[in-house]
Structure 1
Amino acid sequence: MARWIESWLPGASPAAAGPYPGERLGLPAAGVSSVAGFGRRLGALVIDWLLAYGIAALLTGPGALEDPNLGWYVLGVWYLITAVPVAVFGASAGMVALGIRVASLDSAPVIGVPRALLRTAMIALVLPPIARDEDGRGWHDRATRTVVVRSRART
């Protein structure tokens, strides 16, 4: 994918831009099944986290914000509403909202329960998603042989 400045420089060709994220994995450069960007992934995480916060507050009842264990409740709810749908459907609610999904590198339709549990636990540790490789995959994706891809074309 060409950088924005190359679009108006004379003699610059898109091919000179080098490899794109996902090329080594056999994924397209753009469109459906291309590697999802960090912004979409972060947005999906925020949506899931806010959803978990709301559910935890409802389960905790009145005075939820004063409960010293609310953070642990939010983490537990987030873990469930992320790991279970990713294992079964390939995407959490936030991922569906932003048009991305978790794909297995071994061409399985979904990643399954063990890999979804490990992947979600590693995301909860914060550092694995931040340390990314040239394909945009964090340690959690590398450990579970997965990649987050776009599930629909740009709108």
Structure 2
Amino acid sequence: MDNREAMGSWLSGPREALENAGADFGYRGEQLGLPESGPGSVARPGRRIGALVVDWALCMLIAYGLVTHGYNQATGNWALLIFFALGVLTVGTIGCTPGKRLFGLRVVSEAGGRLGIGRVVVRTVLLCVAIPALIWDRDGRGLHDRLAKSVEVRI
């Protein structure tokens, strides 16, 4: 292996380096029995982040306009509380937040169907903490989804 190959494997990441060595990881969601693409497939990171940005902007707008009447130090705290309430109420009832709906996503149980309210609360608390959402598994699910036994899919 020359220096270019070594540098290329380091830049592309461990998954691609292992795949080039012959390891077969399959596609995202294969272990969960989900399709590779289309409706019901695991949501891609770009859509998930886009939905999160829309939801956070909506919560900031609500906190800015209705609660704090201007931007101050408490606006972010109120926005986080509103984000929690929005997540629990919308994912717990219809399976998606406004941002997720806009990007064509839905949160479902690993076994299919809706999440119970307890798992929705656990998922939303961990999402508000933020760190669990930044740790992903090979299926592209965040730690908050793994602990809540949920998966975010395309609709």
TM above 0.5, yes or no, is yes
Return the TM-score normalized by structure 1. Answer: 0.81
* Structure 2: unaligned runs, 5 residues or longer: 1-22
* Structure 1: unaligned runs, 5 residues or longer: 1-15
Q: Hey, what's the Cα distance between the residues in 1 that align with 2:111 and 2:153?
A: 14
Aligned with 1:69: secondary structure? Answer: helix
Q: Percent identity?
A: 38
Q: Would you say the 8 A contact 2:106–2:154 is kept in 1?
A: yes
Deviations along 1:28-70, whole A, 9 cap, x unmatched?
00000000011111110000000001111122253x21x3211
Q: Would you say the 8 A contact 1:88–1:112 is kept in 2?
A: no
Q: How many residues align?
A: 133
> Which residue of structure 2 aligns with residue 119 of structure 1?
123
Deviations along 1:73-98, whole A, 9 cap, x unmatched?
01011111122100111100000000
> Which residue of structure 2 aligns with residue 47 of structure 1?
54
Q: Hey, what's the Cα distance between the residues in 2 that align with 1:60 and 1:103?
A: 32
Q: Hey, what's the Cα distance between the residues in 2 that align with 1:37 and 1:61?
A: 35
State the 1:18 CA deviation: 4.8
State the 1:17 CA deviation: 7.0
Q: Hey, what's the Cα distance between the residues in 2 that align with 1:76 and 1:85?
A: 14
> Which residue of structure 2 aligns with residue 100 of structure 1?
105
Q: Hey, what's the Cα distance between the residues in 2 that align with 1:18 and 1:71?
A: 40
Return the TM-score normalized by structure 2. Answer: 0.81
Q: Hey, what's the Cα distance between the residues in 1 that align with 2:54 and 2:111?
A: 28
State the 1:145 CA deviation: 0.5
State the 1:110 CA deviation: 1.3
Aligned CA-pair RMSD: 1.5
> Which residue of structure 2 aligns with residue 82 of structure 1?
87
